[in-house]
Amino acid sequence: MNIVQIMQQAKAMQTKMAELQERLGEEFVTGIAGGGAVSVTMTCKGRVDAVKIQPSAIDPKDPEMLEDLVKMAINDARRKGDDRMADETKKMMEELGLPANAKLPF
């Protein structure tokens, strides 16, 4: 592979990665905690869109429990978003003929 081909491939990868980032910025994942007592919906890039809390999860005598459920739901959604990003990046790399496990500088 010559330098021109390498540069073209790098440019294609950069363009596809930008498209992927934009698309995943509009895709939503939902994290759940407490058996559905708390749910958080966010984009795959981490922008929180909605938080739902069931009345049964609200105990004025134990606010720490609700705080923990909210954190767990956020972390669950974040993990799902990260997994989606990793899966889509792997597919993109394979489409470009690159090793799916290559580490990108993005």
DSSP label at residue 36? G
Whether residue 66 lies inside any domain: the answer is yes
Alpha-carbon distance values, 48 to 72, 87, 91 (Å):
14, 21, 26
**Is the distance from CB of 81 to CB of 42 less than 8 angstroms?**
yes
The answer to whether residue 43 is domain-embedded is: yes
Q: Is 20 exposed, middle or buried (0-12, 13-18, 19+ CB in 10 A)?
A: middle
User: Whole-model pTM?
Assistant: 0.79
User: What are 38-90's pLDDT values in tens digits?
Assistant: 999 999 989 999 999 999 999 999 999 999 999 999 999 999 999 998 898 88
Q: Which structure tokens are listed for 5? A: 């081909």
| Domain region containing 44 | 3-95
Q: What's the domain count of the chain?
A: 1
The answer to whether 56 touches 40, Cβ cutoff 8 Å, is no
Q: Is residue 69 part of a domain?
A: yes
In tens, the pLDDT along 3-19 reads 887 788 778 888 888 88
